[in-house]
Amino acid sequence: MNTLTTPTPGVRVRFAPSPTGELHLGNARIAIINALFSRAHGGEFILRLDDTDAERSTDAFAHGIRDDLAWLGLTWSREERQSDREPLYREALAQLEAAGRLYPCFETPEELEAHRTWRRARGQPPVYNRETRRLTDEIQARAESGTHAPHWRFALEPRDIVWDDLVRGRCHYNGAHLSDPVLVRADGLFLYTLPSVVDDLEMGITHVIRGEDHVVNTAVQLQLIEALGGVAPAWAHLPLVLSADGGPLSKREGSLSLSGLRAEGIQPEAITALMAALGGSGAPEPGLSLDELARDFRLEAFGRAPPRLDPEDLPRLSARVIHTLPWETARARGVTLTEQAWPVVRPNLERLDEARAWERVLDGPLDPVTEDGDREFLDQAVSCLPASPWDRTTWKTWTDALKALSGRKGRPLFLPLRRALTGTDHGPDMNDLLPLLDPGRVQARLKGNTA
């Protein structure tokens, strides 16, 4: 049986980045949506590295992609690399040539641009196909000399190409209005189009979910699939994400690489929640696992309008993730607060690295913040400090006694105590924080000593 047409039951999707750079938010969104779709249908998610561009693809970028996907919590059943699959592409190329759908071209880039200009001047689409080729004597001689390696194009048929997209609805193109795609460069390098089709067929991919910048590629690839005798997958083309002002995403939105977002302290659950909801009908639900997100995931919920990304969305959602993050997860991400301290501190954090400041508050050493005018008041605070052990009623017992002793109330009563014990004006509820502090350390700080 032809390996390109072997049927495969069940849902199977792939994420196919090129390891020529870092993983960014836009293609991470495609990975997340593919992963959620496969989980929602009990299917399979494959990582495929489209690394046919040997000049730009690196192992370092491939490792970074794997690391970023794992950080997001994504798992894949297997990994494939196009650089290991060239024999399949050669087989498909021979099949196309035998069918009369592959032809050599000898034009230079400058000649191709002149051809496009020639067609535009006549009000024709600037496309390249066999019917509109105009071989000059120079190009003809070049072809006949045998000294110039050609690039190879796939001959599109001038007919309607129609499919029902799971996001965009009915899509319609005509092969006469599209350029015959280059499949192989003059140096023998396969370009994106053919390997992608061959791999999708051979791997039994049932659904191709990608950005709408690939819509024209799909029209071309449908004819390739037919020429190879394959069965086309279902297609879903998602609108590209725009910036808050409706323009393309840019550096104004901050770092859009996954590594950059990690360095900024963004939690992975914030990214998966936002990317799962962006462009859909629901609001992001930070803190949900991928399985929980997949439970209600539907491709049909995504509209055709390009979603906009507010640069404040991710930090805000990331903070919400932290506010409910389990202690075990926080520990795995480098937080050293105790299990008792974590639920007290986490509602006050925007980033996980802010927990270090509260580790110093609880375990020292900390320089207390005191005012000269509060010295007598703080001495009074030491004198009426309740004996340990402390619980969450101790703070009220203490401040009630201190209020009666000093005559202070409200902010003049509470703020000097908070500053002396924590070094800051804001933070966790002191009812919960005080029992976490060592009594000796509390007395030392009230006396103005580092502890």
Domains of the chain: 1-96+192-324 (3.40.50.620), 97-165+169-184 (3.90.800.10), 364-446 (1.10.10.350)
CA 338 to CA 198: how far, in whole Å? 53
* Residue 314, C-beta contacts closer than 8 angstroms, at least 6 positions apart: 261, 266, 270, 271, 274
Say if strands 102-105 and 151-154 run parallel, antiparallel, or are unpaired: antiparallel
Q: What is the pLDDT of residue 144?
A: 63
pLDDT in tens, 283-318: 888 889 999 999 989 998 999 999 998 878 999 999
Coil, strand or helix at 95:
helix
Asked if residue 389 has a cis previous peptide bond (ω within 30° of 0), the answer is yes
Work out the widest C-alpha separation in the chain, in whole angstroms: 106
Query: Average pLDDT for residues 388-394, to the nearest whole number?
Result: 96
CB atoms within 10 A of CB 283: 9
Asked if the model's pLDDT at residue 133 lies above 60, the reply is no
Q: What is the pLDDT of residue 312?
A: 87
Report CA 215 to chain centroid distance, whole Å: 21
For the entire predicted model, the pTM comes to: 0.88
Q: What is the pLDDT of residue 130?
A: 61
**Residues in the annotated binding site:** 251
Asked if the model's pLDDT at residue 9 lies above 60, the reply is no
Element (H, E) at 19: none
Total number of residues shown for the chain: 451
Residue that is written with structure tokens 């939105």 in the block: 253
* Residue 51, C-beta contacts closer than 8 angstroms, at least 6 positions apart: 18, 19, 57, 62, 81, 82, 83
Q: What is the pLDDT of residue 111?
A: 78
Q: What is the pLDDT of residue 4?
A: 45
> How is the chain split among helix, strand and coil, in percent rounded to 5?
50, 10, 40
**Residues in the annotated binding site for ATP:** 251
pLDDT in tens, 344-358: 999 999 999 999 999
Band of pLDDT at residue 54, cut at 50, 70 and 90: confident
Query: Average pLDDT for residues 58-77, to the nearest whole number?
Result: 97
Q: Quote the strand ranges of 264-396, DSSP E.
A: 308-309
Terminal Cα-to-Cα distance of the chain (whole angstroms): 76
Q: What is the pLDDT of residue 1?
A: 30
Asked if the model's pLDDT at residue 143 lies above 90, the reply is no
What is the percent of the chain where pLDDT is above 90? 78
* Average pLDDT of the residues of the chain: 91
Beta-bridge mates of residue 171: 163
